[in-house]
Amino acid sequence: MTMVGTPPPRLPVRDRASATERAWGGLSPMLTRLAAERATGVLVRARGTLYLAEGMVVHAESPAAAGLDALLTAHGTLAPEVWQDAVARSDGRHGAARLLLDGGHLSPGALQLCHLGALYDAAYFALAPSSAPGRFRYGVAHRLGPVLPVQVAALERETLRRRDLLDRIWPDATPDEAPLERTYASGAPKLTTRQQTLLDRIDGTRTATGLAHGLGRQSFHTLVDVRRLVAAGLVAPRAPAAPEPVVHPPPHTHTPAAAEQLAYTTDPHITLLKRLRDALEAL
């Protein structure tokens, strides 16, 4: 019997890059699908909204993040009335961003830098895990107009990187939303000016995002500072107040005489007769 030494056929090798792309479902499957179909409109999620133009994210908003207007006006980069005027005059052809640039109020670089900071900041909260389904409305545009579009994949990668950074600093997310209080720990490391300014405003009532709004800062960077202060033992989330105990009055045990006296004093007819008697005696 003759054996033919023919080598077996090579097994197919899966392309790792394409496999990763196929397995990647994204932080929001709806957002991934909208990017693939190059949709234009607004995606409304539980903690924020994302505006898309031809499948790319052009703007993001969240109640937890300071908007572009706050970042531009908080430190004097732009006068509040200039921003309000640009928004009021913006329309479908001329967004507020174009009006600010044409009016010489901002340079393109400054606008793009602030816009990207606000976009990534709000998107971090808008893409937070949620059990509520998102809703997309086609054709809706933001009054700011396009500034610097961001690919969905890049936005999601940055959001995951930020989550990982916070977990490395302090793996408990409780300080992100709870009111913060100072703990005055001894042996704390030297703080930066930015951290000290934040620490001076912590009074047991403000949250991290509330502090960020008050200081005109990006909320995510404030979360980073807060978690570092918590890790240093200088700040802690305030414990919720214990509910006040409900005190039930003891059951009434009236003797017959006491019951008769109680009925006497609470009967409205007897009360009226007593008032008439007092009036006659006063004549």
The radius of gyration of the chain's CA atoms, rounded to the nearest angstrom, is 32
Cβ-based neighbour number of residue 186 at 10 Å: 5
Residue 80 — very low, low, confident or very high, per pLDDT cuts 50/70/90?
very high
Checking if the pLDDT of 282 tops 60, the result is yes
Checking if the pLDDT of 14 tops 80, the result is no
Q: Please give the pLDDT value at position 22.
A: 40
Beta-carbon contacts of 47 under 8 Å, excluding residues fewer than 6 positions away, are: 62, 63, 64, 125, 126, 128, 130
Q: Please give the pLDDT value at position 185.
A: 77
Q: Please give the pLDDT value at position 277.
A: 73
What span, in angstroms and rounded, lies between the C-alpha atoms of 63 and 144? Answer: 17
What span, in angstroms and rounded, lies between the C-alpha atoms of 110 and 102? Answer: 14
Count CA atoms closer than 13 A to 161's CA, side-chain side. Answer: 8
Give per-residue pLDDT as tens, 194-204: 999 999 999 99
Average pLDDT over the chain reads 84
What is 66-121 written as a DSSP string? --HHHHHHTTTSS-HHHHHHHHHH--SSS-HHHHHHHTTSS-HHHHHHHHHHHHHH
What span, in angstroms and rounded, lies between the C-alpha atoms of 184 and 168? Answer: 23
Q: Please give the pLDDT value at position 131.
A: 87
Give per-residue pLDDT as tens, 212-265: 999 999 999 999 999 999 999 999 999 876 666 666 666 655 555 555 554 555
The whole-number average pLDDT for the span 157-176 is 96
Residue 20 — very low, low, confident or very high, per pLDDT cuts 50/70/90?
very low
174-237 topology per CATH: Arc Repressor Mutant, subunit A (1.10.10)
**First-to-final CA distance of the chain:** 143
Integer CA distances (angstroms), 66 to 108, 120, 221, 224, in order:
21, 11, 11, 15
Residue 18 — very low, low, confident or very high, per pLDDT cuts 50/70/90?
very low
What span, in angstroms and rounded, lies between the C-alpha atoms of 160 and 30? Answer: 17
Q: Please give the pLDDT value at position 219.
A: 97
Residue 281 — very low, low, confident or very high, per pLDDT cuts 50/70/90?
low
Residues of the chain with CATH 1.10.10: 174-237
Give per-residue pLDDT as tens, 92-150: 667 899 999 999 999 999 999 999 999 999 999 999 998 888 999 999 999 899 899 99
Q: Please give the pLDDT value at position 91.
A: 81
Checking if the pLDDT of 90 tops 90, the result is no
Single out the residue of 42, 7, 253 nearest to residue 137, CA to CA: 42
Checking if the pLDDT of 15 tops 70, the result is no
Percent pLDDT > 90 in the chain is: 63
Contact 55, 41 (CB under 8 A): no
Q: Please give the pLDDT value at position 107.
A: 92
In the chain, where do the E strands start and end? 41-45, 48-53, 56-61, 135-138, 180-182, 235-237
Residue 116 tokens, joined: 């990207």
